[in-house]
Chains A and B, each alone.
Chain A
Amino acid sequence: MKFASSENVDVKKNIIIFLIISLILFFVDRSNNQYLKAARSSINDAIIYSTVVLKSPFIFLSNLLGTTVKFFDEEKVINKNKILDLENQIEKLKNEKISLALQLENFRKITGEENYPFETMQAKVLMYKSNILHQSIIINKGTNDGIKIGNPLIKNNILVGKVYKTNFNSSHAFLITNNNSRVPVRIGKNNYKAIVVGDSNTNNKLNLEFLPKEYSFNNGDYAYTTNLDNIMPEGIMVGKISLDEKKNFFLEPLYDFSQLDYLTVVKNNK
Chain B
Amino acid sequence: MFNFIKKYIASLVLLISVLLGSIDIDVFGKSVSYYFNLQLILIYIFKISNPHLNFGKGIFLFLISIANDSLNGLFFGTSAILYFIVFAVASFQSSIKLRSIFIAEWISFGVALIIAYVIFFGLINLSGENVLIINIGLNFLITLICYPLIWFIVSFLFMQNANR
Contacts and interface: CB of A to CB of B under 8 A. Distances in A.
Do these two chains interact? Answer: yes
Contact of A18 (B29, B61, B134): B61
B95 A132 contact: no
Interface residues of A, number: 54
B30 A203 contact: yes
A200 B22 contact: no
A85 B29 CA distance: 37
Given A3-B91, A133-B129, A26 B57 contact: no
A212 to B, nearest CB: 25
A78 B132 CA distance: 53
Interface string B27-38: 001110110000
A18 B34 CA distance: 27
B67 A130 contact: no
Interface stretch (B3-11, B77-85, B102-110, B156-164): B77-85
B152 interface: no
Interface residues of B, number: 53
A53 to B, nearest CB: 10
B88 A15 contact: yes
Given A29-B77, A131-B72, A133-B129, A204 B29 contact: yes
B92 A1 contact: yes
A26 B132 contact: no
B131 interface: yes
A25 B87 contact: no
A54 to B, nearest CB: 6
Contact of A15 (B29, B65, B84, B129): B84
A125 B29 CA distance: 20
Interface of B: 19-24, 26, 29-31, 33-34, 51-52, 54, 57-58, 61-62, 65-67, 70-78, 80-81, 84-85, 87-88, 91-92, 95-96, 123-124, 126-127, 129-132, 134-136, 139
The 3 residue pairs across chains A and B that have the minimum distance between CB atoms: A130-B31, A26-B77, A22-B80
Interface of A: 1-5, 7-8, 10-12, 14-15, 17-19, 21-26, 29-30, 40, 43-44, 47-48, 51, 54-55, 58-59, 62, 127-134, 136, 138, 164-165, 172, 179-180, 200, 202-204, 258
